[in-house]
Structure 1
């Protein structure tokens, strides 16, 4: 198995379930519940989750978000996965540091959604239950 295939197998569902944070509509509670379920399935800690959000997703999705004309209501999964894979495979230590520094800009439009997700995830981990829909 190639490095790219292993990465795709491991990240594909997580990337796609978190991608609605960048849509031009607010994610619904079902979206957040799917995000939490996948985060828990992968047993991601908050530090790893933040790294994925800021270094893997935000640089790619923020570029798509600001370049779209009109509404952006859904994703074409394969082109998005291709862009995410290409970006992730090019993340050298130097590029990681650069994207970490730039992440204030690349996450600005989704940060309120991210905080909502983290609050819900924290609540879920405290109680073991998803918030009501």
Structure 2
């Protein structure tokens, strides 16, 4: 249980910065710089970070990408962390993974450019 709590605590800053990819706003250079610093500090590689996005953040926030009047000023941090933690526990389910990949096939283009920006910054670090 101690390792699980530690893992969850380590993921919270990652969930929070990745959630910005789902806001109905255009991220600026300074946003990408700040997001990159948090992701670099996590010590995780790009594939691990993308998996966190896909299986822990995307299932929670995909509806905001589809909404005509999506949230643009940030998600409530407590709500986000609880919601991401809930799906974190489902991430090994084959059905959950299949369903998430299915939706992602259609919705990844909406956040692809964000990941390109992040990958470019992580490569130079």
TM-score, normalised to structure 1, is: 0.77
Q: Could you tell me how far apart the structure 1 residues matched to 2:86 and 2:111 are?
A: 22
Q: Could you tell me how far apart the structure 2 residues matched to 1:25 and 1:55 are?
A: 23
Could you tell me how far 1:48 is from its partner in structure 2?
Answer: 0.9
Which sits farther off after the overlay, 3-12 or 86-95?
3-12
Equivalence for 2:8: 8
Is 1:42 matched up with 2:42?
yes
Does the CA contact (< 8 Å) of 1:22 and 1:62 recur in 2?
A: yes
Equivalence for 1:72: 72
- Structure 2 residues not aligned, in runs of 5+: none
- Structure 1 residues not aligned, in runs of 5+: 126-133
What do the CA deviations read for 1:36-55 (whole angstroms, capped 9, x no partner)?
11221122112212211222
What do the CA deviations read for 1:5-62 (whole angstroms, capped 9, x no partner)?
3332110011111211111111122221122112211221122122112222112111
What do the CA deviations read for 1:106-128 (whole angstroms, capped 9, x no partner)?
42321122212212222x22xxx
**Structure 1 residues 120 and 34: alpha-carbon distance in aligned structure 2, compared to 1, 3 A threshold:** same
Does the CA contact (< 8 Å) of 1:18 and 1:35 recur in 2?
A: yes
Rg larger in structure:
1
Equivalence for 1:92: 92
Does the CA contact (< 8 Å) of 2:23 and 2:64 recur in 1?
A: no
Does the CA contact (< 8 Å) of 2:22 and 2:65 recur in 1?
A: yes
